[in-house]
Amino acid sequence: MTVHPAHTALWPAPHASGAVDATVHVPGSKSVTNRALVLAALASEPGWLRRPLRSRDTLLMAGALRAMGVGIEETVSSASSVSGERVTGEAWRVLPTDLHGPATVDVGNAGTVMRFLPPVAALADGPIRFDGDPRSYERPLNGVIDALRVLGARIDDDGRGTLPLTVHGGGALDGGPVEIDASSSSQFVSALLLSGPRFNQGVEVRHTGSSLPSLPHIRMTVDMLRSVGAQVDTPESGGEPNVWRVTPGALLGRDLTIEPDLSNAQPFLAAALVTGGKVLIPDWPARTTQPGDRLREIFTEMGGSCELTDYGLEFTGSGAVHGIDVDLSDVGELTPGIAAVAALADSPSTLRGVAHLRLHETDRLAALTKEINELGGDVTETADGLHIRPRPLHGGVFHTYEDHRMATAGAVIGLAVEGVKIENVATTAKTLPDFPDLWTGMLGAA
C-alpha cells in the first residue's frame, strides 16, 4: 500500500495558554445525516436534508446512493457565511427512484455505509459491488450478510463475513423474520430496520447475542423511521426484549434539519474541561437520540458543569478534572475523547463495556493504550475497556491509525501537554473536515 504524504504529516497540536472561552458551531451529525439519506432514497416522494454533514462518510453515502440511481442535488445558500460564522443554509434535495445496478459502492471506512447499504442494494435491480479501505475488510459485516441471505438476497462474498462483496439485487426482497448476533455492532440491527419497510413482508429482527452496544443508535434508527411514517415495534414499546419489527409500507419524503454532531462536540467540551474554560455549542437539541448527549452527565462527573438553554449547551470547566468509572457500552464512540480527558485527571478511571471498539476504525483500545503510554501515561487494556492511571505526560507523536476520534483525542491531550504532534490530522475528514480550523478558532477566541 502506498502511504499518502498526508498520512505521515505531523500537526503540532496547539497548547492552551489559558482557559478557553468560545462558541463552536459543530457541523451536522454523521449518524443522522446517513440515516436521513438512506430513508430519503427509499421514500416514495422527494425530500430535503437541511444542514447535512458534508464529510467523507456522508459524501460516500451520497455517492453510493447516486451510483444506484438516486438524485441528490446539493445547494449552498448564498448567505451561507456571515462574518466568520459557520456555513449554514446548505441543503440536499433527494429524489428517489427505482434503484438499479450495475454499480460499485466505495464504503471507505464508514460503518454506516458498509452496513446500511447492502440491504438497500438488495432492493435494487442489478449487481452492486461493495469495496472500501483496507480496514473495511476487517470490520464485521456477517450479521448483515447472513441476515440478507435469510431474507432472500443473493450475495457473492469470500465467506469471511466482511467486504468485498457483491449484492445481486432482484428489484425486491421477501423480508420476514431473521435472527442475528449484533454484539459486534448495533449497525447490523439499524441496517435491517432502515430498509425493512421496503421489504415485501417487512422485517422482524431478533438479536440473539449476549450484549448489544450503542442502543441509542438503534433508538435513532427507530425514531427516524417513525418520523417518515414507518410502523416499528420495539422492546421499549411493549414488544419482546431484543426484537424489532417493521411493517411494510411506503416512506414519506420529509424536510429534515440535521442536528449538530454531539460526538463531534466532544473535543470542544473536553477543551473547556481540561483548561477550566467555557464552551458554548449552539443548537444542542433539547431531546435527541444521539449518544453524545450523555457527555452532559459524563463530563459533569469528571469536573465540569453545564447549562442547556434554548440557544445551546454552555459547558464550563472548574479547573479540576476527575477520573471516572463508567460503562460506555451505549456510547462507545465517546471512548477516545473520554480516555484523553481521563489521562489528564487527578484520579484513575475505568472505562467498561467497550470490547467491540477493537473492531472500530482501528482497534481503539490498543491504539489509545499505546499512544497515551508513549507520551508517558499508564493505561492498561482490560477485557472490555481501559484502566487509566494519570501520570505527568510529555510531548511526542500521537499516531492516529486513520481514526478521526484518535486525532481529536490527541488534540485534547495537546491542550494540556506541550509538544504533542498529531499524525495525519486530516483523518478527521471522516466526520469533521473542519476540525483543525474549528480547533484553532476556538483557541484564538480565548
Ligand X SMILES: O=C(O)C1=C[C@@H](OP(=O)(O)O)[C@@H](O)[C@H](O)C1
Ligand Y SMILES: C=C(OP(=O)(O)O)C(=O)O
Question: Which residues make up each annotated binding site for 3-phosphoshikimate?
Answer: 30-31, 35, 185-187, 214, 333, 360
- Least CB distance from residue 305 to ligand Y, whole Å? 26
By CB under 6 A, the residues from 295 to 354 that bind ligand X are: 332-333
- Residue 90 or 333: the one with the smaller Cβ distance to ligand Y is 333
Q: Which of residues 103-132 bind ligand X (CB under 6 A)?
A: 111-112
Cβ contacts of 71 within 8 Å, gap of 6 or more: 93, 94, 95, 96, 97
Q: Which stretch binds ligand X (CB under 6 A): 213-221, 237-245, 314-322, 362-370?
A: 213-221
Of 144 and 274, the one with the shorter C-beta distance to ligand X is 144
Q: Which residue is nearest to ligand Y (CB)?
A: 111
Rounded Cα distance, 336 and 354, in Å: 11
Please count the other Cβ atoms lying within 10 Å of the Cβ belonging to residue 148. Answer: 23
Find residue 380's DSSP bridge partners. Answer: 387
Measured over the CA atoms of residue 418, residue 423, residue 429 and residue 433, the dihedral's sign is positive
The Cα–Cα gap between 125 and 308 comes to: 47
Residue 217 interacts, among ligand Y, ligand X, none and using kind-specific CB cut-offs from 5 to 8 Å, with ligand X
**Cα distance between residue 410 and residue 15, in whole Å:** 11
Smallest distance from the beta carbon of 234 to ligand X, in angstroms?
15
Does 214 help bind ligand X (rule: CB under 6 A)?
A: yes
Of 15-23, 186-194, 247-255, 344-352, the segment contacting ligand X by CB under 6 A is 186-194
Question: How far apart are the C-alpha atoms of 166 and 384, rounded to whole Å?
Answer: 33
Q: Which is nearer to ligand X, 22 or 189 (CB)?
A: 189
Q: Given the complex with ligand X, which of 217 and 399 has the nearer CB atom?
A: 217
Question: Which phi and psi (to 5°) does residue 202 adopt?
Answer: 65, -155
Q: Does residue 405 interact with ligand Y by CB under 6 A? A: yes
With binding defined as CB under 6 A, does residue 110 bind ligand Y? Answer: yes
- Closest to ligand Y by CB, 23 vs 362, is 362
Measured CA to CA, the distance from residue 261 to residue 334 in angstroms comes to 12
> Which of 213, 267, 276, 277 lies at the binding interface for ligand X (CB under 6 A)?
213
Q: How far is the CB of 239 from ligand Y (least distance, A)?
A: 26
Q: Give the one entry of ligand X, ligand Y, none that residue 234 binds, where binding means its C-beta sits below a cut-off of 5 to 8 angstroms depending on kind.
A: none
State in angstroms the smallest separation of the CB of 355 from ligand Y: 14
Considering only the stretches 92-100, 183-191, 193-201, 248-256, report the one whose residues sit in contact with ligand X under the rule CB under 6 A.
183-191
Distance CA 316, CA 279 (A): 7
Question: If contact means CB under 5 to 8 A according to the sort of partner, which of ligand X, ligand Y, none does residue 405 touch?
Answer: ligand Y
End-to-end CA distance of the chain: 42
The amino acid at residue 247 is T
In whole angstroms, how close is the CB of 364 to ligand Y at the nearest point? 8
Name the helix (H) or strand (E) containing 180.
Answer: strand 176-180
Residue with Cβ nearer ligand X (122 or 212) = 212
Task: Please give the DSSP secondary-structure letter assigned to residue 100.
Answer: B
- Tell me how far, at minimum, the Cβ of 359 lies from ligand X, in Å: 8
Nearest residue to 22 (alpha-carbon basis) of 358, 322, 289, 272: 272
Question: Which residues ranging from 139 to 198 are in contact with ligand Y (CB under 6 A)?
Answer: none
**Least distance from C-beta 20 to ligand Y, angstroms?**
24
**Residue of 129, 198, 217, 294 that binds ligand X (CB under 6 A):** 217
Please identify which residue in 190, 234, 266, 427 interacts with ligand X, judged by CB under 6 A.
Answer: 190
Cβ proximity to ligand Y: between 316 and 431 the closer is: 431
Residue choice 33, 55, 112, 289 for contact with ligand Y (CB under 6 A) = 112
Residue 191, classified by CB atoms within 10 Å of its CB into exposed (0-12), middle (13-18) or buried (19+), is buried
Q: What separation in angstroms does the CA of 101 have from each of 69, 111, 127, 183, 395?
A: 8, 22, 5, 32, 51
Residue 189 C-alpha cell reads as: 440491527
Residues recognised as catalytic: 333
Residue 184 has a CB neighbour count (10 Å cut-off) of 21
* Binding of residue 35 to ligand Y (CB under 6 A): no
Q: Would you call 327 helix, strand, or coil by DSSP?
A: strand
Shortest distance (Å) from residue 109 CB to ligand Y: 6
**What DSSP string runs through 193-246?**
HHHGGGSTT-EEEEE-SS----HHHHHHHHHHHHHTT--EE-GGGT--TTEEEE
132 binds, among ligand X, ligand Y, none (CB under 5 to 8 A by kind): none
Binding residues: 30-31, 35, 111, 139, 185-187, 214, 333, 360, 364, 405, 430
C-alpha torsion sign, points 190, 223, 216, 49 = positive
Binding site for ligand X (CB under 6 A): 31, 111-112, 185-187, 190, 213-214, 217, 332-333, 356
Binding site for ligand Y (CB under 6 A): 110-112, 333, 360-361, 405, 431
